[in-house]
Structure 1
């Protein structure tokens, strides 16, 4: 079954601590302390010893910075500086401060994160990072800490996706929660992934930070979240297989557009790709099967109509899967982009 007490907590971050190798070599965390008052500050005292975890007056988010897999303890790490283009952000900014339970339903205001079925980031942009090693910008602490510090300094709004502690005093499981190794297989679930989305309200910028374990599967079952192939992030993020194959290049979604409700696929490789039994999904679960006997030649773009898979002009996610049901590419757009009349939405890859 999926992780329990899953939801999103809207809050303000105020303090953090980091466990390095000498503090905890097995299961270290970055502890992010926060409150969920819309305005004002609670009284709290951060003068505590490193062995203590709680700060009176604040909640704590326990963010894993090392995998518990003894064979590969690295984390997969993605940052999306354009997360505001995802339709999920439209509902976050207007939500109330505090914790809100989420389900795996497809209703946008009730659904959690899914690293595989949502277009939360470009999967090819990820890095595999160890916990704590000498040097600069070469471990998870080096890349995660600056974003946390900036969020605190600018009194940003943060949206923590994960599991609420049973005592209600904080959160954990702020990472991918599917495709796990056998030891953690019971935690698998779809639309139950964790993550951190930051809204720097003064500048208006949004940032998404997403964490997985190197040993987690890249492809999972749509119902259970269990791994359906042996390909893991440690395999997928190797430099020698970074080439993308077919991508969603652009989409017409506005009813006033001349090519309304269509997508253009682009073959980025130097080989012809057969698209027989490939499908396109939208956020509502509608499916468009591509025509039979279609071959996409190298470096060629080709449009496809979507009569069975309508795209919303209020924001949507478009997912392309191959004949095995494995995700090839996914993109998303928000309501502002969906309102473009006459022209397509072009997606960067």
Structure 2
């Protein structure tokens, strides 16, 4: 198997450190510290690495924390295409691999020693671990919220630590045997890393909670989305990468206008107890920040959304329209993002607007 010392490490997450664009702009990592002592949490210094937080990397200061193992998780590629592809499967418990993992003892297990696995680890292409089109291609660290790999990966790690979950790390054990790396896709590589190609040897992080499992999977955007079944190499003549396959950040079809209360009961002015509102629905599997988004009506009036407005995955939320009145005689409602681009738009007629106290529901 091209990736050396590949296997599965079962343990408990204890701490994490992130390298942002200031600490390491070239080859940053998320260091997930863990232990495999089922009896108790080892003692360790949580501030061991904090002294240089926010500064360029200190080569004299080791990334390891005494008393813990470290999973070195790449959060940026060193190549020209530096972005990562990211998938999360909150229903990985339905995959056959979950049952096999739950039976493992704590510690590191070389894949060839696990009879239940037949020498096969994870495979992003052949293993049906996630729905391909649910993935995102994200940069390492840029200003804003929910728009880079740190924004989406950190909450999963925090949650695992907070809930004292059990983790299963797929990858290569360090030569020093005090941690694991290659916790990402290990096939379809660019020529520089083609020696690491192989099938059923991808890295990943699976998290077991009391009531559910979550799978977190990372690949480099430059890696091939289709590889040879025998050696895991990319098809050079017909190269298709994750950057090519995964959907771009689509503006439309991300947030929808679900319903609108056009004609509240009572007086039709600012003193009315019941206010006009529009309900937005997040159609994506990730959180969407709505800062600087706004509504427009047909008259050109504008209702800005609150600066801290956001929608969690698949969530809905109401927003009052105090500065953008909606006509009972028919109107249009347009939702624009922070760049002024149309995200969604609906219209209704006088008959719908005449109904008092009942929101109009818009089909999408």
1:93-108 residue pairs with structure 2 within 5 A? 93-103=102-112, 108=117
Partner of 1:32: 32
Partner of 1:134: 143
Partner of 2:222: 215
Distance of 2:16 and 2:96 partners within structure 1: 29
Partner of 2:76: 66
Distance of 2:162 and 2:248 partners within structure 1: 35
Gaps of 5+ in 2: 53-57, 251-364
SS of aligned partner of 2:108: strand
Which 4+ runs in 1 deviate beyond 4 A?
Answer: 104-107
Partner of 1:235: 244
Distance of 1:67 and 1:23 partners within structure 2: 15
Partner of 1:117: 126
Contact 2:13 2:165 in 1 (8 A): yes
RMSD: 1.8
Partner of 1:197: 206
* Larger RCO, structures 1/2 (Cα 8 Å, 6+ apart): 1
Instruction: Report the Cα offset of residue 240 of structure 1.
Output: 9.8
What are the superposed Cα offsets for residues 292-317 of structure 1, whole Å, 9 maximum, x if unpaired?
xxxxxxxxxxxxxxxxxxxxxxxxxx
Partner of 1:302: none
Contact 2:111 2:117 in 1 (8 A): no
Distance of 2:112 and 2:227 partners within structure 1: 18
Distance of 1:104 and 1:140 partners within structure 2: 33
Contact 1:214 1:233 in 2 (8 A): yes
Distance of 1:20 and 1:63 partners within structure 2: 13
Distance of 2:115 and 2:100 partners within structure 1: 14
Partner of 2:337: none
Instruction: Report the Cα offset of residue 107 of structure 1.
Output: 5.2
Partner of 2:343: none
> Structure 2 length normalisation: TM-score?
0.63
Instruction: Report the Cα offset of residue 238 of structure 1.
Output: 3.3
What are the superposed Cα offsets for residues 32-83 of structure 1, whole Å, 9 maximum, x if unpaired?
000001131112112223443111110000000001112x100000000110
Instruction: Report the Cα offset of residue 3 of structure 1.
Output: 1.0
SS of aligned partner of 2:154: helix
Structure 1 residues 240 and 81: CA distance shift in structure 2, 3 A: closer
SS of aligned partner of 2:117: coil
Distance of 1:215 and 1:47 partners within structure 2: 35
Structure with max Cα Rg: 2
Instruction: Report the Cα offset of residue 182 of structure 1.
Output: 0.3
Instruction: Report the Cα offset of residue 239 of structure 1.
Output: 3.9
SS of aligned partner of 1:24: coil
Is 1:57–2:67 an aligned residue pair? yes
Distance of 1:150 and 1:239 partners within structure 2: 27
Partner of 1:183: 192
Instruction: Report the Cα offset of residue 108 of structure 1.
Output: 2.8
> Structure 1 length normalisation: TM-score?
0.66
> Which is worse superposed, 34-43 or 12-21?
34-43
Distance of 1:14 and 1:123 partners within structure 2: 30
The number of aligned residues is: 238
Structure 1 residues 45 and 106: CA distance shift in structure 2, 3 A: closer
Distance of 1:220 and 1:28 partners within structure 2: 27
